[in-house]
Chains A and B, each alone.
Chain A
Amino acid sequence: MNQKRKLHVRDIILLALIGILFGAIFIGTDFVYNALTAMLTPFGLAPMANDLMMGLWVMAGPLAGFMIRIPGTAFLGEFLASVGEMFFGGQWGAATLISGVVQGIATELGFTITRYRYYNWITLTITTITTTILTFGWDMLRNGYAKFDFQLLIILFVARLISTFIFGGVFVKIINGLLSRAHVLATR
């Protein structure tokens, strides 16, 4: 694909639409999130629900980066999803934007490291790692992870890494495989 291609308005619409369509799919997971939190609370692992679900929230980014291979699309895919969520979705309002920016930068970084040349498992593994580390760092502050015991931190980090790898890696690879076999992105 042409890397010098410019980002057009239809790409922007597409990325925003993917964000809100995925958001609508995730509505079904609110229940899972709350149930997980409630189940894990007695074990002192309440925040783990957050880490286990993380892969879903960050899926739009790597997928966007794979679909439209222009620098910045991974960030934009993730960020526009958070803009949609700000106005129409969750209870977090504008605070969602900050998480959106952090997740967006984290994913984009993975593509930057592979210099927007490789779109394979290596790229997905790197985006998984950058996303896990950066979002985890942000949660150290935002969700007070910095105050947790070290042992708990390790558990949470591993949970997040696995979740991000499954949804932001395996799922993205499968979905992108379907898309490229269906040739629907050929004209872009």
Chain B
Amino acid sequence: MNPTIKLALILIASLEISFTYNLPANLLVILISVTYLFYHRIHGKTLAWLVIVPIIPAFGLFTTIYFFSSQHDLATASALFTRMYAYVFAGASFSLTTKPLDLAHSLEQNCHLPSKFAYGTLAAFNMLPKIKQTIVTIKSAAAMRGVNLSWWSPHLYFKAILVAINWSENLAMAMISHGFVEDQPRSAYELVQVKARDITWMVGLLIVLQVPIVWQIMN
């Protein structure tokens, strides 16, 4: 599926369930997302992780509404509980099945996003393998001077920004030396198309999602 269309579908669906308290709609989003994830052969482990991680905030929300609010509203509590999972699965069905580069190409070609945004962001993402080690190094270098930096120390953020400034200059210079010129047209090695099938799926799935929502309004 075209990455931009897929993203649009997921954002619209997520927004729509945010405005309603509709258990069947949430379950439908979860069902479609899980099916899609299985179609993309997601690992059992990843799926288990998706189920486990949101459980604390989801359960916390449930108890707040059901046990502690004055109305003890089970319907709302369970709608909120499942909605958390709907967000997680819908979100994952995009981020686990789409490569950042494919999204960048699609946004560049289909949405005419200026290339500096697409490739600037990608260049930054390219540093990801070094990010964790960098934070460890900053902390250790300071520890060796007797200074303990942690997430509540402004100096940790300051040092991280200094690293970011340095990297951003090196990466930008490298981009320019690889022929990149801001706001100038580029050719496309591969054309990313929006196929009729993509639109059909998007519209089709959105119509299906309206069924439980309209049903709730009618009753």
Contact B76–A147 (Cβ < 8 Å):
yes
Contact A8–B61 (Cβ < 8 Å):
no
Please report whether the interface of chain A is mostly helix, strand, loop or mixed according to DSSP. helix
Given known pairs A94-B7, A144-B80, the reply for A175 and B49 (CB within 8 Å) is: no
Chain B residue total in the interface (Cβ 8 A)? 75
**What residues on B are CB-neighbors of A147 within 8 Å?**
21, 65, 69, 71, 73, 76, 80
Contact A9–B175 (Cβ < 8 Å):
yes
CB distance from B10 to the nearest CB of A (A): 5
Given known pairs A50-B57, A148-B65, A179-B161, the reply for A98 and B94 (CB within 8 Å) is: no
Contact A21–B88 (Cβ < 8 Å):
no
CB distance from B14 to the nearest CB of A (A): 5
CB distance from B216 to the nearest CB of A (A): 16
CB distance from A155 to the nearest CB of B (A): 12
- Docked complex Cα distance between A67 and B91 (Å): 31
Assess whether B171 is interfacial by the CB under 8 Å rule: yes
**What residues on A are CB-neighbors of B71 within 8 Å?**
147
**What residues on B are CB-neighbors of A49 within 8 Å?**
57, 60
Please report whether the interface of chain B is mostly helix, strand, loop or mixed according to DSSP. helix
Assess whether B50 is interfacial by the CB under 8 Å rule: yes
Assess whether A113 is interfacial by the CB under 8 Å rule: no
Contact A148–B69 (Cβ < 8 Å):
yes
- Docked complex Cα distance between A26 and B63 (Å): 26
CB distance from B202 to the nearest CB of A (A): 14
Our count of residue pairs bridging A and B at CB distance below 8 angstroms stands at 210
Q: B52: nearest residue on chain A (CB-CB)?
A: A91
Chain A residue total in the interface (Cβ 8 A)? 69
Q: B99: nearest residue on chain A (CB-CB)?
A: A87
Given known pairs A14-B165, A16-B125, the reply for A47 and B14 (CB within 8 Å) is: no
Assess whether B59 is interfacial by the CB under 8 Å rule: yes
Assess whether A97 is interfacial by the CB under 8 Å rule: yes
CB distance from A58 to the nearest CB of B (A): 13
Q: A10: nearest residue on chain B (CB-CB)?
A: B172
**What residues on B are CB-neighbors of A122 within 8 Å?**
none
Given known pairs A93-B90, A93-B91, the reply for A46 and B64 (CB within 8 Å) is: yes
CB distance from A92 to the nearest CB of B (A): 5
Q: Chain A residues in contact with chain B, CB under 8 A?
A: 7-14, 16-29, 34, 37-38, 40-41, 43-47, 49-50, 56, 59, 63, 67, 80, 83-84, 86-88, 90-98, 141-144, 147-149, 152, 171, 174-175, 178-179, 182, 184-185
